[in-house]
Amino acid sequence: MRILHISQSYPPMVSGAALAVAHLAEGAAAEGHDVTVIAASDREVGYVEETGRIRVCRLPARDNPARVGQRYLLWPQRHIQALVTSPRPDIVHLHEPLLLGLCTVRIMRRLQIPLVVTLHQLPWFVTKYAPSFGGQPLNVEWLVWRYGGWFMRQCEAAIVPLPLVSNLVHHYTGYLPHTISYGIDLKRFRTEVAALTEGAQLRRKYGLPAGKPIILHVGRLDRDKDVDQVIRAAAEAMATTDAILLVVGDGREREALVQLSEALAIGDRAFFTGFVDNDGDLPGLYRLATLFVTASEIETFGIVVLEAMASGCPVVAVNAGAVPHLVLTGYSGFLVPPGDVAAIADRVAWLLAHPEAARRMGQNAAGLSQEYDGARSLERHLDLYRAICGG
Protein backbone atom coordinates (compact mmCIF):
# COMPACT_ATOMS: atom_id res chain seq x y z
CA MET A 1 0.00 0.00 0.00
CA ARG A 2 0.90 3.64 -0.40
CA ILE A 3 0.14 5.19 2.99
CA LEU A 4 0.12 8.92 3.74
CA HIS A 5 0.23 10.21 7.33
CA ILE A 6 -0.64 13.87 7.98
CA SER A 7 0.34 15.22 11.39
CA GLN A 8 1.32 18.49 13.01
CA SER A 9 4.38 16.90 14.60
CA TYR A 10 6.88 14.20 13.76
CA PRO A 11 10.27 13.44 15.32
CA PRO A 12 12.52 15.20 16.16
CA MET A 13 9.54 17.23 17.43
CA VAL A 14 8.21 15.41 20.48
CA SER A 15 4.62 14.64 21.38
CA GLY A 16 2.51 11.56 21.92
CA ALA A 17 1.07 11.95 18.42
CA ALA A 18 4.54 12.33 16.88
CA LEU A 19 5.74 9.12 18.51
CA ALA A 20 2.61 7.25 17.43
CA VAL A 21 2.97 8.42 13.82
CA ALA A 22 6.66 7.50 13.75
CA HIS A 23 5.87 4.03 15.07
CA LEU A 24 3.23 3.45 12.38
CA ALA A 25 5.36 4.89 9.59
CA GLU A 26 8.50 2.95 10.47
CA GLY A 27 6.59 -0.28 11.07
CA ALA A 28 4.65 -0.11 7.80
CA ALA A 29 7.81 0.70 5.84
CA ALA A 30 9.58 -2.27 7.43
CA GLU A 31 6.77 -4.50 6.11
CA GLY A 32 7.27 -3.23 2.56
CA HIS A 33 4.68 -0.46 2.31
CA ASP A 34 5.52 2.93 0.80
CA VAL A 35 4.97 5.62 3.43
CA THR A 36 4.84 9.40 3.15
CA VAL A 37 4.54 11.68 6.17
CA ILE A 38 3.43 15.31 5.91
CA ALA A 39 4.27 17.31 9.03
CA ALA A 40 5.33 20.75 10.19
CA SER A 41 8.96 21.57 9.52
CA ASP A 42 11.23 21.71 12.55
CA ARG A 43 13.29 24.36 10.72
CA GLU A 44 12.57 27.80 9.31
CA VAL A 45 12.01 26.32 5.84
CA GLY A 46 10.33 23.26 4.44
CA TYR A 47 12.31 20.27 3.21
CA VAL A 48 11.99 16.62 2.20
CA GLU A 49 13.99 13.68 3.55
CA GLU A 50 13.84 10.04 2.50
CA THR A 51 14.94 7.01 4.49
CA GLY A 52 14.26 3.68 2.86
CA ARG A 53 10.55 3.48 2.12
CA ILE A 54 9.67 6.55 4.22
CA ARG A 55 9.47 10.01 2.66
CA VAL A 56 8.98 12.84 5.16
CA CYS A 57 7.73 16.12 3.69
CA ARG A 58 8.18 18.88 6.23
CA LEU A 59 6.14 21.92 5.26
CA PRO A 60 6.83 25.57 6.18
CA ALA A 61 5.28 26.13 9.61
CA ARG A 62 4.84 28.63 12.43
CA ASP A 63 6.18 28.48 15.97
CA ASN A 64 3.64 27.03 18.39
CA PRO A 65 3.23 29.60 21.20
CA ALA A 66 1.85 26.95 23.57
CA ARG A 67 4.66 24.38 23.30
CA VAL A 68 8.43 24.54 23.43
CA GLY A 69 10.12 23.12 20.33
CA GLN A 70 6.85 22.69 18.44
CA ARG A 71 5.70 24.22 15.17
CA TYR A 72 2.32 23.96 13.46
CA LEU A 73 0.69 23.97 10.05
CA LEU A 74 -2.25 26.34 9.61
CA TRP A 75 -3.86 25.71 6.19
CA PRO A 76 -1.35 23.98 3.87
CA GLN A 77 -3.91 23.13 1.19
CA ARG A 78 -1.65 23.91 -1.76
CA HIS A 79 1.19 21.74 -0.43
CA ILE A 80 -1.03 18.79 0.45
CA GLN A 81 -2.83 19.00 -2.88
CA ALA A 82 0.48 18.73 -4.72
CA LEU A 83 1.76 15.85 -2.59
CA VAL A 84 -1.33 13.62 -2.96
CA THR A 85 -1.52 13.78 -6.75
CA SER A 86 1.81 12.12 -7.50
CA PRO A 87 1.99 9.46 -6.31
CA ARG A 88 -1.63 9.12 -5.22
CA PRO A 89 -1.90 7.37 -1.82
CA ASP A 90 -4.15 4.38 -1.29
CA ILE A 91 -5.15 5.73 2.11
CA VAL A 92 -4.56 8.85 4.19
CA HIS A 93 -4.22 8.68 7.97
CA LEU A 94 -4.84 12.04 9.63
CA HIS A 95 -3.67 12.87 13.14
CA GLU A 96 -5.11 16.40 13.56
CA PRO A 97 -8.87 17.08 13.25
CA LEU A 98 -8.80 20.88 13.60
CA LEU A 99 -7.73 23.32 10.86
CA LEU A 100 -5.23 20.92 9.33
CA GLY A 101 -7.95 18.28 9.42
CA LEU A 102 -10.52 20.49 7.73
CA CYS A 103 -8.04 21.29 5.00
CA THR A 104 -7.30 17.58 4.52
CA VAL A 105 -10.96 16.49 4.48
CA ARG A 106 -11.71 19.03 1.78
CA ILE A 107 -8.96 17.67 -0.48
CA MET A 108 -9.58 13.96 0.12
CA ARG A 109 -13.32 14.20 -0.47
CA ARG A 110 -12.71 15.96 -3.77
CA LEU A 111 -10.12 13.38 -4.86
CA GLN A 112 -12.08 10.45 -3.36
CA ILE A 113 -9.10 9.17 -1.37
CA PRO A 114 -10.04 7.15 1.75
CA LEU A 115 -9.37 9.02 4.99
CA VAL A 116 -8.84 7.71 8.53
CA VAL A 117 -8.45 9.96 11.58
CA THR A 118 -6.96 9.18 14.99
CA LEU A 119 -8.13 11.28 17.95
CA HIS A 120 -5.03 11.95 20.01
CA GLN A 121 -6.82 14.48 22.23
CA LEU A 122 -10.29 14.90 23.67
CA PRO A 123 -12.10 18.22 24.28
CA TRP A 124 -10.68 18.55 27.81
CA PHE A 125 -7.32 19.37 26.20
CA VAL A 126 -8.87 22.34 24.38
CA THR A 127 -10.68 23.63 27.47
CA LYS A 128 -7.34 23.91 29.30
CA TYR A 129 -6.46 26.70 26.85
CA ALA A 130 -9.94 28.23 26.48
CA PRO A 131 -10.08 32.04 26.78
CA SER A 132 -11.67 33.60 29.84
CA PHE A 133 -14.67 35.91 29.97
CA GLY A 134 -15.46 37.78 33.15
CA GLY A 135 -12.79 35.83 34.99
CA GLN A 136 -14.30 32.46 34.02
CA PRO A 137 -13.00 30.19 31.22
CA LEU A 138 -15.46 29.82 28.35
CA ASN A 139 -17.17 26.44 28.26
CA VAL A 140 -16.25 25.25 24.77
CA GLU A 141 -16.32 21.53 25.54
CA TRP A 142 -19.80 20.96 24.12
CA LEU A 143 -18.85 22.75 20.91
CA VAL A 144 -15.68 20.66 20.46
CA TRP A 145 -17.64 17.44 20.99
CA ARG A 146 -20.19 18.57 18.40
CA TYR A 147 -17.47 19.38 15.91
CA GLY A 148 -15.65 16.11 16.62
CA GLY A 149 -18.77 14.07 15.92
CA TRP A 150 -19.26 15.86 12.61
CA PHE A 151 -15.60 15.48 11.65
CA MET A 152 -15.41 11.74 12.30
CA ARG A 153 -18.39 11.24 10.00
CA GLN A 154 -16.44 12.87 7.16
CA CYS A 155 -13.89 10.04 7.32
CA GLU A 156 -14.04 6.36 6.41
CA ALA A 157 -13.00 5.51 9.98
CA ALA A 158 -11.98 7.12 13.26
CA ILE A 159 -9.59 5.54 15.76
CA VAL A 160 -9.10 5.99 19.50
CA PRO A 161 -6.52 4.12 21.58
CA LEU A 162 -8.61 2.59 24.40
CA PRO A 163 -12.14 1.21 24.95
CA LEU A 164 -12.70 3.77 27.71
CA VAL A 165 -12.08 6.58 25.20
CA SER A 166 -14.28 4.89 22.60
CA ASN A 167 -17.13 4.76 25.10
CA LEU A 168 -16.71 8.45 25.93
CA VAL A 169 -16.68 9.46 22.27
CA HIS A 170 -19.77 7.36 21.59
CA HIS A 171 -21.57 8.84 24.60
CA TYR A 172 -20.94 12.45 23.58
CA THR A 173 -21.19 12.17 19.78
CA GLY A 174 -23.22 9.06 18.96
CA TYR A 175 -20.32 7.86 16.80
CA LEU A 176 -18.52 4.63 17.73
CA PRO A 177 -14.85 4.76 16.67
CA HIS A 178 -12.48 1.84 16.22
CA THR A 179 -10.28 1.04 19.22
CA ILE A 180 -6.63 0.41 18.38
CA SER A 181 -3.91 0.98 20.97
CA TYR A 182 -0.85 3.00 19.95
CA GLY A 183 1.40 0.38 21.50
CA ILE A 184 4.96 0.85 22.72
CA ASP A 185 8.29 -0.79 21.95
CA LEU A 186 8.49 -3.49 24.61
CA LYS A 187 12.03 -4.37 23.55
CA ARG A 188 13.13 -0.85 24.49
CA PHE A 189 10.97 -0.26 27.55
CA ARG A 190 11.58 -3.30 29.75
CA THR A 191 12.61 -4.18 33.28
CA GLU A 192 15.98 -5.72 32.35
CA VAL A 193 18.86 -3.23 32.54
CA ALA A 194 20.98 -2.60 29.45
CA ALA A 195 24.15 -3.07 31.53
CA LEU A 196 24.98 -3.83 35.16
CA THR A 197 26.40 -0.32 35.55
CA GLU A 198 23.40 1.41 33.91
CA GLY A 199 21.98 2.88 37.13
CA ALA A 200 25.28 4.21 38.46
CA GLN A 201 26.18 5.74 35.10
CA LEU A 202 22.83 7.52 34.81
CA ARG A 203 23.06 8.87 38.36
CA ARG A 204 26.50 10.31 37.60
CA LYS A 205 25.41 11.77 34.27
CA TYR A 206 22.38 13.59 35.69
CA GLY A 207 23.91 14.49 39.05
CA LEU A 208 21.58 12.27 41.07
CA PRO A 209 22.74 11.25 44.57
CA ALA A 210 23.69 7.59 44.93
CA GLY A 211 21.20 5.29 46.60
CA LYS A 212 18.33 7.78 46.96
CA PRO A 213 14.82 6.65 45.95
CA ILE A 214 13.58 8.45 42.84
CA ILE A 215 10.13 9.93 42.25
CA LEU A 216 9.91 10.21 38.46
CA HIS A 217 7.76 12.35 36.20
CA VAL A 218 8.11 12.29 32.40
CA GLY A 219 6.22 14.52 29.97
CA ARG A 220 5.64 17.95 28.54
CA LEU A 221 6.02 20.71 31.09
CA ASP A 222 3.00 22.67 29.91
CA ARG A 223 -0.07 24.00 31.71
CA ASP A 224 -2.43 21.26 30.52
CA LYS A 225 -0.31 18.54 32.16
CA ASP A 226 -0.72 19.87 35.75
CA VAL A 227 2.92 19.19 36.63
CA ASP A 228 2.73 21.77 39.42
CA GLN A 229 0.57 19.27 41.32
CA VAL A 230 3.32 16.66 40.94
CA ILE A 231 5.87 19.10 42.39
CA ARG A 232 3.63 19.99 45.35
CA ALA A 233 2.78 16.36 46.09
CA ALA A 234 6.42 15.31 45.83
CA ALA A 235 7.41 18.07 48.25
CA GLU A 236 4.92 16.75 50.82
CA ALA A 237 6.08 13.15 50.40
CA MET A 238 9.76 14.10 50.50
CA ALA A 239 9.34 15.81 53.87
CA THR A 240 9.57 12.43 55.61
CA THR A 241 11.99 10.62 53.30
CA ASP A 242 15.33 11.12 51.60
CA ALA A 243 13.83 10.59 48.11
CA ILE A 244 14.59 12.90 45.21
CA LEU A 245 12.36 14.16 42.40
CA LEU A 246 13.39 13.64 38.77
CA VAL A 247 11.44 15.60 36.14
CA VAL A 248 12.15 14.60 32.54
CA GLY A 249 10.84 16.79 29.73
CA ASP A 250 10.58 20.38 28.61
CA GLY A 251 7.88 22.97 28.08
CA ARG A 252 6.65 26.51 28.67
CA GLU A 253 6.24 25.91 32.40
CA ARG A 254 9.73 24.56 33.07
CA GLU A 255 11.20 27.66 34.69
CA ALA A 256 8.07 28.24 36.78
CA LEU A 257 8.24 24.63 37.98
CA VAL A 258 11.90 24.99 38.93
CA GLN A 259 10.99 28.11 40.91
CA LEU A 260 8.09 26.27 42.56
CA SER A 261 10.42 23.48 43.70
CA GLU A 262 12.72 26.10 45.22
CA ALA A 263 9.81 27.85 46.94
CA LEU A 264 8.76 24.50 48.43
CA ALA A 265 12.30 23.97 49.77
CA ILE A 266 13.09 20.96 47.58
CA GLY A 267 15.17 22.83 45.01
CA ASP A 268 18.31 20.91 45.93
CA ARG A 269 16.47 17.58 45.63
CA ALA A 270 14.53 18.26 42.42
CA PHE A 271 16.35 17.52 39.17
CA PHE A 272 15.09 18.80 35.81
CA THR A 273 16.78 17.07 32.88
CA GLY A 274 15.06 18.73 29.92
CA PHE A 275 14.16 16.55 26.96
CA VAL A 276 15.60 13.02 26.98
CA ASP A 277 15.33 10.89 23.84
CA ASN A 278 13.53 7.53 23.68
CA ASP A 279 16.56 6.21 21.81
CA GLY A 280 18.89 7.54 24.48
CA ASP A 281 18.69 7.52 28.27
CA LEU A 282 14.92 7.58 28.77
CA PRO A 283 14.38 3.79 29.11
CA GLY A 284 17.19 3.62 31.67
CA LEU A 285 15.74 6.52 33.69
CA TYR A 286 12.42 4.70 33.92
CA ARG A 287 14.23 1.59 35.19
CA LEU A 288 16.17 3.69 37.69
CA ALA A 289 13.02 5.19 39.22
CA THR A 290 11.34 3.94 42.38
CA LEU A 291 7.91 5.08 41.20
CA PHE A 292 6.24 7.18 38.51
CA VAL A 293 3.73 9.96 39.16
CA THR A 294 1.48 12.07 36.94
CA ALA A 295 -1.39 14.47 37.65
CA SER A 296 -2.54 14.88 34.04
CA GLU A 297 -6.31 14.68 33.52
CA ILE A 298 -6.33 14.84 29.71
CA GLU A 299 -4.65 11.64 28.53
CA THR A 300 -6.35 9.69 25.74
CA PHE A 301 -3.79 6.91 26.13
CA GLY A 302 -0.93 7.78 28.46
CA ILE A 303 2.17 6.67 26.58
CA VAL A 304 4.54 7.73 29.37
CA VAL A 305 2.42 5.87 31.93
CA LEU A 306 2.66 2.73 29.84
CA GLU A 307 6.42 3.17 29.29
CA ALA A 308 6.87 3.50 33.05
CA MET A 309 4.80 0.38 33.68
CA ALA A 310 6.74 -1.65 31.10
CA SER A 311 9.93 -0.57 32.88
CA GLY A 312 8.71 -1.87 36.23
CA CYS A 313 7.50 1.35 37.87
CA PRO A 314 4.44 1.44 40.10
CA VAL A 315 2.31 4.42 39.05
CA VAL A 316 0.50 7.11 41.04
CA ALA A 317 -1.97 8.89 38.75
CA VAL A 318 -5.30 10.70 38.84
CA ASN A 319 -8.57 8.95 38.12
CA ALA A 320 -9.30 10.85 34.91
CA GLY A 321 -8.91 10.52 31.16
CA ALA A 322 -7.71 7.16 29.87
CA VAL A 323 -5.22 6.38 32.64
CA PRO A 324 -7.72 4.37 34.75
CA HIS A 325 -7.75 1.82 31.93
CA LEU A 326 -4.02 1.26 32.49
CA VAL A 327 -3.50 1.54 36.26
CA LEU A 328 -5.17 -0.88 38.66
CA THR A 329 -5.31 0.58 42.17
CA GLY A 330 -3.53 -1.57 44.72
CA TYR A 331 -2.14 -3.87 42.01
CA SER A 332 0.04 -1.79 39.66
CA GLY A 333 -0.13 1.52 41.50
CA PHE A 334 -2.75 3.94 42.78
CA LEU A 335 -5.43 6.21 41.32
CA VAL A 336 -6.47 9.29 43.29
CA PRO A 337 -9.09 12.01 42.73
CA PRO A 338 -8.10 14.65 40.14
CA GLY A 339 -6.58 17.77 41.63
CA ASP A 340 -6.08 16.19 45.07
CA VAL A 341 -2.43 16.98 45.82
CA ALA A 342 -2.65 15.57 49.34
CA ALA A 343 -3.90 12.23 48.01
CA ILE A 344 -1.09 12.06 45.45
CA ALA A 345 1.43 12.84 48.19
CA ASP A 346 -0.05 10.20 50.49
CA ARG A 347 0.25 7.42 47.89
CA VAL A 348 3.75 8.48 46.86
CA ALA A 349 4.81 8.47 50.51
CA TRP A 350 3.23 5.04 51.02
CA LEU A 351 5.16 3.52 48.11
CA LEU A 352 8.40 5.05 49.38
CA ALA A 353 7.74 3.63 52.86
CA HIS A 354 6.91 0.16 51.51
CA PRO A 355 9.67 -0.69 49.01
CA GLU A 356 8.79 -4.39 48.76
CA ALA A 357 5.16 -3.60 47.94
CA ALA A 358 6.34 -0.97 45.46
CA ARG A 359 8.57 -3.51 43.71
CA ARG A 360 5.74 -6.02 43.59
CA MET A 361 3.39 -3.43 42.07
CA GLY A 362 6.09 -2.53 39.56
CA GLN A 363 6.34 -6.16 38.49
CA ASN A 364 2.56 -6.30 38.15
CA ALA A 365 2.63 -3.12 36.06
CA ALA A 366 5.24 -4.63 33.74
CA GLY A 367 3.04 -7.68 33.26
CA LEU A 368 0.00 -5.56 32.38
CA SER A 369 2.00 -3.56 29.83
CA GLN A 370 2.60 -6.64 27.68
CA GLU A 371 -0.91 -6.24 26.28
CA TYR A 372 0.22 -3.08 24.47
CA ASP A 373 2.86 -4.48 22.14
CA GLY A 374 3.66 -2.05 19.33
CA ALA A 375 3.88 -4.82 16.72
CA ARG A 376 0.31 -5.89 17.44
CA SER A 377 -0.86 -2.27 17.18
CA LEU A 378 0.79 -1.89 13.78
CA GLU A 379 -0.91 -4.99 12.37
CA ARG A 380 -4.32 -3.85 13.56
CA HIS A 381 -3.84 -0.49 11.82
CA LEU A 382 -2.73 -2.19 8.61
CA ASP A 383 -5.72 -4.55 8.76
CA LEU A 384 -8.05 -1.55 9.00
CA TYR A 385 -6.36 0.14 6.04
CA ARG A 386 -6.77 -3.04 3.96
CA ALA A 387 -10.43 -3.37 4.89
CA ILE A 388 -11.12 0.22 3.84
CA CYS A 389 -9.15 -0.12 0.60
CA GLY A 390 -10.88 -3.37 -0.29
CA GLY A 391 -8.07 -5.77 0.57
Distance separating alpha carbons of residues 326 and 366, to the nearest angstrom: 11
Element (H, E) at 366: helix 355-369
Higher pLDDT, 65 or 110: 110
**For residue range 305-342, what is the model confidence (pLDDT) as tens digits?**
999 999 999 999 999 988 999 999 999 999 999 999 99
Distance separating alpha carbons of residues 36 and 66, to the nearest angstrom: 27
Mean pLDDT of 221-237: 97
Give pLDDT, residue 65. Answer: 72
Give pLDDT, residue 85. Answer: 87
Confidence of residue 136 (pLDDT cuts 50, 70, 90): low
Confidence of residue 135 (pLDDT cuts 50, 70, 90): low
Nearest to 248 by CA among 282, 205, 294: 282
Query: What are the structural domains of the chain?
Result: 2-183+373-389 (3.40.50.2000), 198-372 (3.40.50.2000)
**For residue range 5-43, what is the model confidence (pLDDT) as tens digits?**
999 999 988 888 999 999 999 999 999 999 999 999 988
